Amino acid sequence: MVVTTTISDPPELLRSTFASRYARASLPRYKMQEQPIPKEAACQIIKDELMLDGNPRLNLASFVTTWMEPECDHLIMSSLNKNYVDMDEYPVTTELQNRCVNMIGRLFHAPVGQDEKAIGVSTVGSSEAIMLAGLAFKRKWQAKRKAENKPYDKPNIVTGANVQVCWEKFARYFEVELKEVKLTEGYYIMDPVKAVELVDENTICVAAILGSTLTGEFEDVKLLNELIAKKNKEIGWDTPIHVDAASGGFIAPFLYPDLQWDFRLPLVKSINVSGHKYGLVYAGVGWVVWRGKEELPEDLIFHINYLGSDQPTFTLNFSKGSSQIIAQYYQFIRLGFEVVVCDKAGCWWQRLWLVAGCGSCGRYLY
């Protein structure tokens, strides 16, 4: 006997998305149509249009994560509706962000004692992180100049001409002159000697890049630290360094643990890193950490108490999702610090912290 089913309910058939009038009539492009449409039709119309986008898994454009394990996708989906800023409602999410800040601070050798807390925040990406770090430098410099009765209206920042556009945004939005070290043929990162020549009494910081956007190269932060320290000593300044480790912050500690680029260098006062690049989380998370709380002027921190207790915030946006923070914590506890070498006979490839399996033979290690 052949068992078949038929659609017995005609209205169901009429609601079939592709056969419906909703799929045939065009929607106005730039204004809302008068009437609602069924959810199936709305979803299908958008899905169809999105087919013309590229495939994220084939996108290497901005070094941003496009695949996470299904377990983490599940965590992300189950926290999509949590507004991170409601910290009293979601104290565990706040705790997870604090753990991430502490893990990153320690990864970058912030001088924090065993029972002390590292200073930092999660952001939407490195750009927001850089805005916050730049603001802290500007405010500190202004406060010092005011106290010395000196002009404080012409702050500048020294970078290589290879900086990512977010530094230009910072300079323009927050009225800081950007003094760029020119690149020369065959040398596409900031030359520390030339950078130090550009430093003057109005320099709020020198920004070095660990993982230049153009080539991936690391700038020589150690040499920069030495040269600025010398100039600071000679003239009596205290010009600090920020490291833009958007890409390199989650590479260098694992692959080049002896490379000194972070808080081991005394003039490095703040570091940003993109969680959504080699922190292996989908787009929407970055981090900024400071050497200590003295580097973060208190008047930049807002204290909100909408929902009960005092919650300090230092971010540009107020509301934001929690999923990316939870996903970052997942990657930290999931992968840990270890750099494992593939153990498959004959495979020469080293498994990086960054991938869940061997990059050469595909062996899945955990």
Ligand X SMILES: Cc1ncc(COP(=O)(O)O)c(C=O)c1O
By the criterion CB under 6 A, which residues form the site for ligand X? 62, 125-127, 164, 166, 209, 211, 213, 244, 246-247, 274, 286
Q: Whose Cβ is closer to ligand X: residue 123's or residue 202's?
A: 123
Give me the residues paired with residue 65 across strands: 282
Q: How many CB atoms lie within 10 A of CB 45?
A: 16
270: CB partners within 8 A, 6+ apart = 133, 136, 137, 242, 243, 288, 289, 290, 291, 295
Q: For tokens 């600090």, what's the residue?
A: 240
Can you say how many angstroms the Cα of residue 344 is from the centroid of all Cα atoms in its chain? 34
Q: Whose Cβ is closer to ligand X: residue 41's or residue 181's?
A: 181
Distance of closest approach, residue 29 Cβ to ligand X, in angstroms: 29
Distance of closest approach, residue 167 Cβ to ligand X, in angstroms: 7
Alpha-carbon separation of residue 12 from 6, 7, 8, 39, 48 (angstroms): 11, 8, 8, 14, 22
Structure letter (DSSP) for residue 331:
H
Beta strands (DSSP E) in 217-324 are 241-244, 268-274, 286-290, 302-304, 311-313
Q: Whose Cβ is closer to ligand X: residue 180's or residue 244's?
A: 244
Q: Whose Cβ is closer to ligand X: residue 199's or residue 243's?
A: 243
Spatial contact of 250 and 210, defined as CB atoms under 8 Å apart: no
Q: Which residue, judged by CB position, is nearest to ligand X in the bound state?
A: 125
Which element (helix H / strand E) includes 234? helix 221-235
Distance of closest approach, residue 9 Cβ to ligand X, in angstroms: 50
Q: Whose Cβ is closer to ligand X: residue 126's or residue 331's?
A: 126
Distance of closest approach, residue 85 Cβ to ligand X, in angstroms: 20
Q: Whose Cβ is closer to ligand X: residue 119's or residue 130's?
A: 130
Angle among Cα 321, 116, 221 to the nearest 5 degrees reads 80
Q: Whose Cβ is closer to ligand X: residue 134's or residue 211's?
A: 211
Structure letter (DSSP) for residue 316:
S
Q: Whose Cβ is closer to ligand X: residue 72's or residue 124's?
A: 124
Q: Nearest CA to 141 among 196, 203, 195, 231?
A: 203
Alpha-carbon separation of residue 205 from 78, 162, 211, 262, 292 (angstroms): 41, 16, 19, 15, 16
